[in-house]
Amino acid sequence: MPQYRRPESVLVVIYTPKYECLLLERVNPIGFWQSVTGTLQWGESLQEAAVREVFEETGLGTSGLWDTGIRRSFPILPEWKDRYEEGVKENMEHLLYLKIPAICQITLNPAEHLSYRWENLKKSIQTVASWTNREALERLLHMSDD
């Protein structure tokens, strides 16, 4: 019997005090830029998943990680439906932010990402592929105006 994925994930936006954001280019599809993302494992807390995903995808620690309490539900794409138990149609994504002191080098997971770059908020908003990631960056932009 296959182990189905939990239909719950984290989106972690990593940024500096100057609001430079870390963007990761996925292996597949090429040209798909995003913040750190990943599925919660069964029995794993939201915080545990965020810490694990940040480390796996960047090698960074997570001091300063905070959960916004914002949740977004989106349809699971047809090509990924077989990863989930029959009848599961949506994924619940939890938004977290991680403020780090400055731009730094990261350690990519080559199984997941081809490259990374640091961009200002406005460029990041234009670059990311998913609407939830764009919305998370727009929210950060509004916070930077305060």
Distance CA(30)–CA(26), nearest Å, equals 6
Give the per-residue pLDDT at 1.
45
C-beta separation of 142 from 136 below 8 A: no
Distance CA(17)–CA(19), nearest Å, equals 5
pLDDT in tens, 22-77: 999 999 888 999 999 999 999 999 999 999 999 999 999 999 999 999 999 999 98
pTM score, whole prediction: 0.94
Say if strands 33-34 and 36-39 run parallel, antiparallel, or are unpaired: unpaired
Number of Cβ within a 10 Å radius of residue 40 = 21
Whether domain 8-145 has CATH 3.40.30.10: the reply is no
Written as six digits, the tokens of 119 are 């961009």
Asked whether residue 116 carries a pLDDT value surpassing 60, the answer given is yes
| Least reliable range by pLDDT among 1-15, 35-49, 82-96 | 1-15
